[in-house]
Structures are given as structure tokens and as C-alpha cells.
Structure 1
């Protein structure tokens, strides 16, 4: 084999899966048995895709075994093997592939297999389950395990120092858990002796103060201190100087240089002692946390993926267990190792695999047959440093190996590839531009905006108007909090959204409706009943006949599913899950911990996920949304100084606040060097994250960065507003007809105005995906209802108030209902508004069909030559409302073939009618 040891750098969309598949097939044609090839990926999805691709290719080869042209193509993919040899081996390869054990799996599953085979050596039961850590349960155990000393440590770290809360302290423990095998106790326990450095610092500082007072007869504001704490806050402006006289206020003072030198040494000593004390206390707490985790695992016979890796590492590297025995056993079976997405390998995972890798590299197996090691990945996509990932491993593992770069891009349209090239060239070390290999031009837009969410919403609606299937739109954000916030924002405006965490079953619309029903059953709160019907897009009715709490949850759910036609695969899966619970309360208590995922065929809606979750995936239309603030990374409380290899941990530093950190950097070169390295690594992490985000799109990509946001993530790569290509030409139009929410706008095309019913009927479509503030919804419904009744039926306020109380009184107070009436009366007294009403026939709450989608005009006044439309808005003026109105005007102009004038009535404050031109 020409390249038995091969490392491949494959940029996003370059066809690395294709490369790995044909590497596997080449090994088969070279004589390797399928059972001797270990292929490792990092996700079940990737492992499944890999296996399916390999099976498909082998089947295709077998079916075309007598096709000489096809065999020549196979030959071009697998090196120097001749066509005759290929045809000769096809039947044997096909037969062995069908009958032998395939080792195409995730790295986690491989470690689980090792652990199950030797679990008794590390005190683990064979039938252990794999699951996520229950943070609440672990915290409860942790608090019970705290002794007097560690309890005092927690109080000191969380309250007396006021540096972090218990939750963030435990989050820091969780972060360090990924590195615990690489952390020696000596990194936490210092031999540094406690001194009176604070008093020494005060003594030297007083000497500086006296020198100033003696010569000036007064005390400089930056020398007005009484204790060490105020001294630190005062000296931050002048302690950074090489010489005291360099500080503007001290330039003419003759100081004793020994005071300044002594002060610097004393403060530096304080930082070292303070850090040593913190690390010592934290280490004691960290050990209790690990103890709590171990107890949680034992009580539940459960292990997390990281815990499995830790156990395997302990088995192979720490216990008196002969790892040579294990690798001898593996050696007799595994001759070839293929690893996908190698840049995601953690230090711990690499340490476990290293003996096998080194054995293969040595080239001598137990049977001395062909051996090989192949891995593929992309350092630019290394974004898991927070959980132990280290891109340096990609370089370390490549020693003694041949290397290749894959530079073609088979995923993204031309404008997207060129935009990524222009953006990252010179900004990511070693960046190699890609060559676009598909003909489609594509579309890229970079947009700076003050209201990110509103602009994203309008862009989505625009694509829906063009006919894009909502499931072909994906939003990428920087953290889980943003996923939820943006999802709520879009849902409140009538868009159907599926959050990334909503790959979980409990976030499916019908499942959520069933959960709301169970809440209603348990609490009898009508808000849950209303939410049930809103999620299903149905008119409200009584659920009294279904309130039978004595039954099991499944027995309660089945009739309501039959009654309301709740029949999605995900809803049926939830019904199966409910069978495991004996009571509604038990089911509701366990809802949040359910790990079942949405059944894939039920996955529908605009997807919102974090950039981290999007890695390895691709989407037709991508919108990347800026962060609102700096990400709260728990690892910032502590950071590592790595050795020369970039992997081994040489020292742990405590990260202080900005001001104290600046002082320490000026006094301690080692701290400064380590902190600058950490900041540089953080910048690389962000650039890699941005690279991942900007390489997910196939057809169109829109990037929204915040103009008001000083912490914009895109500042690191210097994006500016631009547009490449044409959106409409680049979109994949589907036959699916999305329901566009009422606040959307549309583009002009032929349509007919139809009287499809009143405002209440229109709400059904909006409710389908609506979640959020019911009071706001009720306020808007009531406002439109009053205007309609005032203009069409001329009802008196007293009667309207009574009707409103019956309709919306549960959600809106008497005061709010009166406020709505007052706002409507204010508009009706508006001179300009009354002039509009006199210009023609008045039509209220007028829905119309446009390209199969429902829209609604709040008010249309029409005569033979002109039309006037008025939209009511209960919020503050926004540019988005004006854009919407202009689109309405343009559309109605095409439909009615008349001059159209548009107005918006804003109800806030004293109310105002604004003409849109």
C-alpha cells in the first residue's frame, strides 16, 4: 500500500466522507477483512452514513462487476490495483462483507465495548446504561457529601470572595472533569508559604504616599487608601509603569525607588498566594464533586460518555492491568484504523487510542500482515476545546505519516465558497482557499442591523413568500440561550420553529400540546387548556370529559389523541413513553429528563440550533445570527499553561477580573505569557466557530451582525455589509405552501380579494405555531375586534366593554379593556383618519388569498380610483412595520390596479397616525 500511514486535511464540503469510504474499499481490495478494519466517527449519524455509503458502493461494484468502464472508475479511486485484479476479487469481497462483523462505529461505542469486556477491573456492572448527567441529582449528592472543611471552602469560594455562585462553581468542576486524567494534584497544591505580603505592600505604599505628601503638602487622589483592597483599586493607574515618575501626576516627585520595587514584589506575592489558596480550596471541592458523580453513577448503574472514557483510561493506563494484553487481543483482530473528524479527538481519547496507533505505526503486527492508519479532519473546525478537544493532536498524530490536502468544495454554491475564501484568507493560520465544484451561483448577504431579531424575521418571511419550505431554513446562533430567545421571538410572530434541543421529543408541537393537557389535568388552570388548543391550531372547547386523573397517563392520553386527531409518529412515541409512568404527576416530573428524540419524519419547521450543534451538517438556506453578549465560558475562571507540545498541562492559573489581571500581567511575566496564549486560543476558537457557521450553507447564506453590539462575534474577521448573487434565483422553491403570519409582507403577484371571515377566524392559522405572551395576543385580538365593531356596527362603549369582558376578561384586566376602548376612540376622533373613511366604501378585517397564502388587511377604504389601507399596531414604531406596509401597498396596487395609500396607527402613548410614502 503506497500510503499506509496517511493524514488528510479536508476543508468543509471537500468530500472527506467519500475519501474515507474509498480508503475502506481499497483496503478490502488489498486483502483486508472487514472485521480487521476499525472505522471510528464521532456521532451515530456519521457512523450510520459511513456504513450506508460503504454498503452502497460495494453493492454498486458487485452489480457492475462485468462493466469494464465502471471498473476503470473503481480503479481510479483505489490506487494501483489493476482492473483484472479488481474484477477477480469482487465476489470474494462481496461475500465477506455480507458475512463478517463490521467495525464501523462511534469512538464512544468502541470505548463502551472495551469497558463492557473488562468492566469488573474498574468496578462497573456489565449492564451499565449510557445517559446524561443529572446535574440536580449530582448537586444534591454533592451537598450531602460536604464535610465541615469543604463546606467552609464552598462558602469561601462562593460568598466571601463573591467570585462565583454554587452553580458556576459546579460548572467549573464539570469543565475540569474533561481534563481530570491530565491534572496532577501538584497543579493545585502549592508549597508556597503564606506571608504578610498585604502588610508589606501597605508599608511600601505608605512610603510612596509620604514622599508625595512631603514634597506637595497634599495627598494625590490615587494615593488615598486605607487598606489593601483600596490600595489595589487606586494603584491600577500607576503600578503598571516602569518608573513612578512616568505617571503624569507623579512626574515631579522624587520617590524612593525601593518603595516602588518592594510594592510590586509584595503585590505579586499576594496574587500568587491568593491563587494558591483558591486552587487548594477548589481542589478539595472538586474531589467531592467527582465523588458525588461516582456515587450518582453507581446508584443509577449509569455512565456518561466522558465517564466511559475515564474508566477505559483508568483501566488501560492507571490500574495494574496489562494493556499489552488488551492491545494484543485487539492486534489479532484490528489491522487498520480509520478515524473521521480527527480534530475533535480529546486528549483523553487520544491517550486511549495512542498505543494502538503507535503499534500500527511500528509496522509489526502479531501476524505481520498489512497494517494502516488513516485519519481525516480539519483543524479549522476544531471547536470543542471546552470539553477536552485539542487541535494540536492533529499535528502530533501526523508524525511519520504522509499528508494530503483536499481543496475542492462539493457542498456550497460559488458565491458562498468565494466569500469564505475572501473572509478567512490571512485570518486563519494555514488557510487554503477552496475551489467551488458545483455550477450554482448561490447567494450571500452580510447585514449589520440594530434589531437583529426583527431583521431575521423579515428575511425569513421573504423566503417563505418566495415559496421556500420552512424546513429548508436553518438559523445558527452562538449559544443555547439565544436558541430559546430567538425561537420564542419567531413563534410569537406566528412562525413554526423547531429548536435544536427540540430534536428532543418533548419539543414536538403535538407532544407539547399533550403535555399542556396533562398540566391542565393536574392544575385545572385554563391557561394550559388554551395553550393546548393554540399549539394544535384548533378552536377552544371544553376538555371536561377527559379529566379522569385516576387513570394511567397513557390511558388518559389515548382518547384525547383520538378525539383531536393527534396522530404524528412523535405523538405516538410519547404515548409509548407514557406507558412507563404510573401517574400524571410522575410523568410531568420526569418530562424534562426524557431523552427520546423527535421521530425524523415529524421534523418540520424553521430550525434553530447552535453553531456547535450544526457541525458536520449542511443546510440549503442558512441565517447566521450574531451573539448579544460575550459567551459566559466557565473555563475562564481557571486556565491552563500548556507545555511545549501544546497538550500537556504545565500549570493552572486563576483568571482575575480585568483590572486585577492587568496589574498581575505587569508584575508577573509567566502569568502574562500564559494569559496571552489563552486569549489567542480563545480567538482561534471563535474563528473556527465562525468558519463552521459560514460553511454550512449549500445555496444561500445570510449573516446578521449587531451594529449596537460592541461584542459582535464577527468583529474578529472584519465583516462588512455586502451582497453577492440574487436571492430569488438561488432559492430552491418547493410545492409546500407555508402559512405566512399576519405581520409579514408579501410581494406583488396576481390574486383575488376574498372575504374569508372575521378576525377571530384568522387567528386559527396564527395559533398553529404561537407560543408566548397570551396577554399580548389577547390585547391585539381585542384591539382589532373593537375597531371592527366600531366601524361596521357602531356599537356603544358600554356594550363593547361587556362583550370584551366576556371574550378576554380572563386574560385582560378591566383597566386594560378600557384602555383599548380609549385608544380606538382616539383614532376615531383623528381628523385625518375620518377623512380617509369618507373617501369610499369601508371594509374591516379583510383577508385575501395571495398565491395560496392568507393575508389580512385591518382596514381597506376603496373608491373607483384609489384605495387606502390602515394597519393597527399596539407597539412602538419600527422600521419593519413600514417595510411591511410598503409591501402591502405594492401588492394591493397590483391586485386592485389602483393608486394605494398606506397608514399605520400606533396605539402607544397618545396614539398617532403615520402615512407611509
Structure 2
């Protein structure tokens, strides 16, 4: 029996290199018999994103090519075998099993469609939010049907309770938010079993009785105590601290409100002096003796009843919604069946049934391959159900004497809201699942960050983990000590210390604590400091493109982006640049609204305002009954002349893309689209990709796995634990007597749960929240290469509620005084020196070349060309065309060709032949300016028309006053070449570009043909 190798890989420790070399070692060991072909078919490497899978494939091929070419040596692989392995992978690329976890699950499910009772041509549905909205709308529209009476009763109950609480009676948003529970694994395990409406009704009545009984007992006891005080001719305000005194809480109880008891109240019976002062009248002093006993008696009654009252209150809150939840689940399933689609979240559950009901060999037989080895990346992000699907397959592999590997880092687990469970890697894997088969490894060297950043993180996270663990332990209820673990954080961060191979004085860390009276003023101050930091970095020869701003939320990203853009600082962000922030897009939506409701005076005024703001003349048009919505939007754009608004074009195009997607999937109904836009579409952002020399703005969750020269965190203030009423986190908790009747119930995560039967669940969730938020800090602080800059608050009063408090407590440590400078309102911690940048790692778009990145498409085109039936001339044309895709400037030619050769995609002779053909082609004096950096270059960018047709020019060159489109041709002339370029030119003119010219550039005779 072989080992399951567990690599604990801290940030920047070479995880991908480890996976790559492990993959090759497994591949080489499988080829020991001399059969070099197709061993990659029997190794499955799984990660969580398409980008990560492509990176791993590329790394494996690159490393094989280096070994094959003699550039690198590996102890288990010689050059000859590496060449054979590289050839087998490239010629059998479709079976190169580097996959996302979802793609692998889909592959297995499609092999079992008959057994699962689903159609083989099903579509995968990714938009869970839209599915829930559609299901809730379907339920509301069908409430008048006789078979939905129970659902109607539940909704009326929910609406009445909202009215009683002084809230809006509408329940749609509540149903949508709570309905999302059906996608969570806890619901799949517990909630999906609750299907009987009568059971829920009876249970609700039972909980109400318990709640009413316990509250009545507490309220009556409070009234009795208050009456006794009154019978002694005393008022509650007669006692110590008058109206602010602890006894005044009895007024709230007497009015029917159940509240918590303060520590001051709980301390009253300990000493009669707690009731009076030296100036109190004698009757107050006389009453203090019997009050000690009576207050103590009230506290006993309160304590005897409050746990069950709080428990009943927590359960009762969601019982009406629970009555509808199963119905939502059923409607979703029906709608998916009718649409012949499968929710991506259902894949895990379906695969669970497959793996549970069949042994591994049968699964392999159905899938059509035998997997010997599993390599699981980012294991801390694996969910319990995902792991249950892999566990028997890995057990089978180990039982057959095969090696397997998982790589992860508990400290980087930040996706718990997607069902990930770090405890599998943290504890379960080694102590439960494969107890005697684990071989642990720790990757302890940080190859990413400079030395001072590594040193800071080593010290800070040791301090922070201990401080946070102590805070947690202080809160833990005494009766739960020993039941709930009190060293989770310390164990999880036991491997936090890292080594570095960078120069000892390299790297820079700056923490600024800023003081302001309120949060909004503080944010303005933080952004002003952000500008100062950016200016300082530019003075040190850093480019905008070197700087990444990390924030906690999309709202913060939008705030930062707006501020930077207003100050003419270029920005790139997939999350901050919301499509709805464009006034032109707002105008389009408002005109659609006007066509639906011409009498909406407020909307009319808004249209007038928008027209003034963007300087357009208001047009009058109505949505014709027979005009499709997409065409109507085109009409709005033309009537208002919006195509000429260059700064808005990208937003308008993105809006049209969203509209096209909505119309194709949903309907062309304007009313429904506006509803969707205001609920979902309004939060969509531009997908900007790489915009050259611009500041990147990104949320913390998006930054995981990436690295940046400089990281600035302007708002390092998020809460360590959000247990406020605004939070909507739901926990599924096991019940006990007297709350039996339903085994698991949904309760909202609030601090009051610490005084319920769910206290153990509460404290576990509290620890999970602490873990989530310190992990977010860890992920953020380990992204930078050169510099880390953070801003946080400097409160007047000591507190310990957010991540900024951790930073403040750390830099105020006595042993760090030499790193800190401060005044009355601010403090600054500096470790290391912000040195001038040595070289331009990130170059502006018009000053440098793109990185040479070989994609799956490249490999498919070049690596498999030997199997093609095409002529050698056609093959060479394909290769030349593919290389031109990678070229921005003329000097890029050699590096592109060398990269192709290094990866084994072209031979040395072919590389020489390619260079001989393309060198005169791109250095032709007639096209010198095309390849010297004079233009902004867009290679192989897709243009999508209003009819959803795709066009892809070879090269678009954007100058100050012109735009040029070029198609490369490496064969004979054809008439179709002219119409093709002419179409590109027309499309560019429709997009609002002026002075468009087009050319066909033939390689054979270096002829440049002008297209009119």
C-alpha cells in the first residue's frame, strides 16, 4: 500500500512547481517498463479554476521540453524519455487530464446519465441567483392554484410577521435570499429531508408554545419584582444611577420585551451597597437587603428560561420560510428538467450517489479510463461532499499500490461561502480518513515576496493568531471548554514561519493608522493617503501597472476606482468598473422604462437630467409592439448619438452583451428585463482583462493565487466577526429536547446564540469567522513582491473588533517602537526601505511587448499538426499566422519563435525557416510603423455584432487620429480576402471609430493591398 502525500504549501512556496514535478515523476514511474505512450491518461490532476488548469498544463509541457532539450535535469527523467513523454502528451492532448473539479464531475455524470435519469444533452446552468429568482416568481404567480394553498398560508404568515415587526410586508426578497440555501451542502445534508408541510406546521405551533411559556415566566417574574419594589413606596429610579441604573431593565421586561441582563445587574445581589449611594434615602438602604435575595431569585428564573426562550426565538424565525423552502427546491428541479439543464451545484450531489452506489472499477469502466494517480490542488477549498466523492477513488488507488498527492494551505482557505471546508486538510485527512497512509511535507521557503515582507508576515501572524485565539478563549462559555477546541488558530498557523532566499534588506512594509471622527470621513482620508502613496511609488520609478489595490468588497472597489479616475489615474478592474456607473447606460435603461410606463414623471425628470449631464438632445421614441428589445436598444443608442461617446462605448457594448445574453436565455420582454437589471444586472462589471499600464483594483477573494509588485490596502478595517442583524448567515443546527420534532433547523448566526441550545454550533461558527478573516489578511499580505502598504483606523478608545485592531495592537508592541513614528492622530509603522525600482517589469502598452504565453489552442494547432492531412504549405501558413498573433513589435519575433522551439512545437530547422520568412515580412520598410510601437495593438480581438455574429481581425492598430485593420495572408490571393477586411472596416465604423483604413498583407511577395 502506497502513501497519500500531503503538501502543506504556504503562500509563495512553489506549490505549482511541486505539483508539476510530482506529475512528471508519476508519469515517468509509470513508463518504467519502456512503454512511454499515454501514461498521462491515467493521472488526474484537479484544481478549481480554468486559469489554474491551463497554467499547470503549460508548466508540465515547459518542464518536459526543458528536460528534453537538456536545459534542465531531473533525477527520475532523462532527455530521451522526456522527449517521448512530451510527444505522447502533445499527440494525445485531449486526454491530458488536468481538469477543474467541476469538469471532472461533469465527465463522470455524463457517463451515468441513464442511471441518473437525465438527458444526455443537458446544459450546465451556472447562474444560481437567476434560477432562484425565476423559481420564486413562478411560485408567487401560481399562488391562486388550489394545490398551492399551503404555500400561500406560509407566505401570508411571513408577511404578517413582517408587518408586526414594522417592516415592509413584501416577502419576495426574503424568499430569494433564503432560497439560496438549497445550493448549500448543509441543506443537502439536513434541510432537504424536511418535506412534510404538516410536520413543519405542528413543529411551529410547538415552538410557539415554548417561546410564549418561557417569555411569560420571565416577564411575570420581572413584574412581580417591580410590583414589590413599588409596594415599598419606591421607584426603579430611586436606586443607584437613577434612570441609568440596572434595575430599570425591569421596565422593558414588564412591557413584554425580552432582553439580556448586563453584568452590572448580575452583580447586584453580591453586595447591598450596589443599590444605593451615600445620598440615598433610608427606605432605599432598608430595601437593599431583601432586594439582594429577590434580584438573585429573578436572575435564577431568568437563567432557567432564557436558554430555551432564545432557542425557540431562533428556531421560530425561519419556520415560515422553511415551509416554503422545500417547495422552492421542487420548483427549481421542475424548471431545470423542463429546460433540460443541470445546476452546477447538483453535480456534487449526483456524483455522491454514483460513488456511494458503485465501486471505483465500475466508475472507471463507465468513464472509459483507469485513473491510477490523483493530484488534488488547492485542497483547503474542497467541500465535504466533493471530498466524499474523491475519497473512495483515492482509497482504491492507494489499495492498488499507487501514489497520490494533495496540496493545500489552511491559511489560504477563504471560500467557505462556497462550501469549502478547511478542516478536511487541517485535521480530518490525517486523523480520520487516511490515518496511517499520510506522508506529510511542508514547503517552507517563500520565493515570491522580498525578505522584509516575509519577516513582517512571520512576526505579525504569530502575534495575531495568539491574540485572536486568546480573545476567542475568553469568550468561550465555561461549560463548553474542552468540548469546543481552544487552539484551532494556533494549530492552523503552526507552519506560518517561512524562509526566504531574497536579499535580507529587500522589501518594504508600511502600516498607517489614521484617525477621523466618523467612518465616511476616515475613508476620504484613506483615499487621500492612497494618492500620496501612488505618487511616492511613481517617484521611485514604479509604473501604475506595478500597483494593485486590494479591497474587501466590490463597493469599496468602485469607490476607489471612481476616485482614481477622477484624478486621471488609469484603472483596470473586473470588479470596480460597474456597467451601471455609465450615465449613458443609465439613460438607455431609463428610456426603456419610459417605453413601459410613459406616465412615470420621476423617470422623465431623470432622463432630462441625464441628457444634460452627458450633453445629448432628448429624443422621443416608443417601444413598438413588434420591435425586439435588442433592436430597440440599438435605436436608442442611435437616436441619442451615444456611439460617439468614446469613454462610454465600452460600457454600452458590455450592456448590450448582457442584454443579448438575457434575451437569448430569458425573454425579450422589456418589463422583465428592467426587473432583472435592477436586481442583478446593475451589479455587473466590465471584464477589462489586461489594460497595460494601469492601477489594478481587485477584491481580496479575486487576488488569491496571484502576485503583484506593490499591494496597497486602503481599507484594512473589516470585521473579525459579523454577527450583527445585517448579516444573513444561516446555520443548520441539530435540535434536542424539548425542541425535538425536526432533527435539523435553520437559525440565523447571531451572538445571542451563545445563550441557546445551539451554543456549541455558535462558537464553532465564531471560530470559523475568525479563521476566514485572518486568512483574508494572510492572503492579502502574501501577494506583494516588493512592497505592502496598509491603512487602518487609529481609534481613540481601545477596541478589538476588526482586522485593523490586530494591526494596531501589533505595531504598538513595545519591541517594535523603533519602527513606529506617531503624532496625536496618526501612527506609521515602516519596515524596510522603499527603494527605486530596478527595472521595468510592467511596461506601458505602447512601450513594450506582451509576454509570450502559449495556450491550449497554440498547442493544439502546432503540436498536432503532424497528424494533419493538410499540405505542408497550409501547415506552414497556419504556423506563421499563429506566430504573428503573438507579435506586437518587430523585436518580438525571435522570442516567440524561441519559445515555440523550447516547448517542442517546432524543430530547430522549422524555427530557422519561420524566422527567414517572417523577418523581412515584419521589417518591411513599408510597414515599419506597424511594428515599432507607434500604435496600440489589438491582436485577434473578437467583434460581436448585434446579430451575435463573431468577427476576428488579425491585427487592429489604434493611433491618435486613425485606426488600421490588417489581415495577414500566407497563400494565394482570393476575392474573399477583400470582402473580409471590408467587413471589419464597416464594423469598426459602426463602433464609432473615425478614419478607418484596411489592408491585406501578403507574405509571399510582401504586397500590401489597400481595401476601400
TM bin (shorter chain): 0.5 to 0.7
- Is the contact made by 2:571 and 2:696 (CA closer than 8 Å) also made in structure 1? yes
Q: Tell me the equivalent position of 1:724.
A: 831
Going from structure 1 to structure 2, the CA distance change for 1:112 and 1:136 (only over 3 Å counts) comes to same
Give the match for residue 394 of structure 2: 357
Matches within 5 A, 1:509-658: 515=585, 525=607, 593=681, 598=687, 600-602=689-691, 605-626=694-715, 630=719, 637-639=729-731, 654-655=747-748
Map of 1:776 onto structure 2? none
How far residue 406 of structure 1 moved from its aligned partner, in angstroms, is: 0.5
Distance 1:160 1:578, change over 3 A: closer
Among 444, 452, 465, the alignment partner of 2:526 is 452
How is 1:185-200 mapped onto 2 (pairs within 5 angstroms)? Answer: 194-195=209-210, 196-200=213-217
Change (3 A) 1:719 1:321: same
- Following the alignment from structure 1 to structure 2, what is the Cα–Cα distance between the partners of residues 417 and 599? 31
> 1:597 and 1:335, CA in 2 relative to 1: closer, same or farther beyond 3 A?
farther
**For 1:468, what is the secondary structure of its paired residue?**
coil
Instruction: Indicate if the aligned counterparts of 1:343 and 1:389 stay in contact, CA closer than 8 A.
Output: yes
1:411 maps to which of 448, 452, 455: 448
Q: Residues 469 and 737 of structure 1 are in contact (CA less than 8 Å); yes or no, is this contact kept in structure 2?
A: no
Which residue does 1:150 correspond to in 2? 154
Secondary structure of the residue aligned to 2:90 is helix
- Structure 1, unpaired ranges of 5+: 65-69, 76-80, 365-369, 533-539, 644-648, 739-917
Cα drift, residue 388 of structure 1 = 1.5
Return closer, same or farther for 1:111/1:246 CA change in 2, 3 Å cut-off: farther
Specify the alignment match of 1:27 in structure 2: 26
Change (3 A) 1:150 1:114: farther
Change (3 A) 1:12 1:452: same
Give 2:952's aligned residue.
none
Which of 784, 787, 795 is 1:697 aligned to?
Answer: 784
2:480 maps to 1:422? no
Alpha-carbon distance change, 288 to 265 in structure 1, aligned in 2, over 3 angstroms:
same
**2:523 matches 1:434:** no
Deviation string for 1:340-378 (max 9, x for gaps)? Answer: 1100111221122222122223x13xxxxx522201111
Shift of 1:51: 0.7
Matches of 2:669 and 2:835 in 1, distance apart? 49
Deviation at 1:729, TM superposition (A): 1.9
Query: Given the alignment of the two structures, is residue 114 of structure 1 paired with residue 108 of structure 2, yes or no?
Result: yes
Deviations 1:255-295 (A, max 9, x none): 36665533432333322332333343342233233334435
- Assess if the C-alpha contact under 8 Å between 1:207 and 1:259 holds in 2: no
Q: Which residue of 2 aligns with 1:305?
A: 344
1:396 aligns with 2:428: yes
Q: 1:335/1:323 Cα in 2 relative to 1: closer, same or farther (>3 Å)?
A: closer
Aligned counterpart for 1:255 among listed residues 269, 293, 310? 293
Using the alignment, how far apart are the partners of 1:619 and 1:423 within structure 2?
20
**Runs of 5+ consecutive residues of structure 2 not aligned to the other structure:** 32-38, 144-150, 240-246, 276-286, 466-489, 516-524, 595-603, 736-741, 812-827, 847-1012
| Residue 280, structure 1, aligned to residue 319, structure 2 | yes
Q: Is the 8 A contact 1:145 1:288 kept in 2?
A: no
Cα offsets for 1:175-224 (capped at 9, x unmatched): 56312222256899669663423333333334434554566755564364
1:413 to partner: Cα distance: 1.2
- The 5 A counterparts of 1:806-817 are none
> Aligned pair in 2 of structure 1 residues 432, 131: CA closer, same or farther (>3 Å)?
closer
Structure 1 residues 55 and 267: CA distance shift in structure 2, 3 A: same
Specify the SS of the correspondent of 1:501.
coil
TM-fit CA distance, 1:620? 1.5
| Aligned equivalents of 2:273, 2:397: Cα separation in 1 | 62
Task: Give the corresponding residue for 2:188.
Answer: 181
Residue 66 (structure 2) aligns with: 60
Cα distance change, pair 727–347 in 1 and its aligned pair in 2 (3 A)? same
Structure 1 position 372 matched with structure 2 position 403: yes
1:137 aligns with 2:134: yes
Checking the alignment, whether the CA contact within 8 Å between 1:128 and 1:301 is kept in structure 2 is yes
Deviation at 1:462, TM superposition (A): 3.4
SS of alignment partner, residue 293 of structure 2: coil
CA distance in 1, matches of 2:540, 2:806: 33
Shift of 1:675: 2.8
Structure 1 counterpart of 2:4: 5
Note the C-alpha offset of 1:431. Answer: 3.7
Contact between 1:8 and 1:376, CA under 8 Å: does it hold in 2? Answer: yes
Q: Aligned pair 1:40/2:36, yes or no?
A: no
How many pairs are equivalent? 694
Matching residue of 1:770 = none
Give the corresponding residue for 2:13. 14
CA RMSD of aligned residues (A): 4.6
Alignment CA distance shift 1:679-1:494 (3 Å):
same
Distance 1:434 1:322, change over 3 A: closer
- Provide the residue aligned with 2:876 in structure 1: none
Per-residue deviation, residues 403-425 of structure 1 (Å, max 9, x unmatched): 01001111111111111111112
What's the TM-score once normalised by structure 2's chain length? 0.60
CA drift of 1:95 comes to: 2.9
In structure 2, the residue matched to 1:889 is none
Preserved CA contact (<8 Å) 1:244 1:251: no
Q: Is the partner of 1:617 in helix, strand or coil?
A: coil
Question: How big is the shift at 1:43?
Answer: 0.8
Instruction: Give the alignment of 1:722-871 within 5 angstroms.
Output: 722-730=829-837, 733=840, 736=844
**Per-residue deviation at 1:442?**
2.0
- 1:530/1:117 Cα in 2 relative to 1: closer, same or farther (>3 Å)? farther
Secondary structure class of the residue paired with 2:449: coil
Distance 1:54 1:344 in 2: 23
Which SS does the other structure have where 1:616 is aligned? coil
Q: How big is each residue's C-alpha offset from its partner over 1:226-278, in whole Å with a ceiling of 9 and x where there is no partner?
A: 86664533855567569676893386225366655334323333223323333
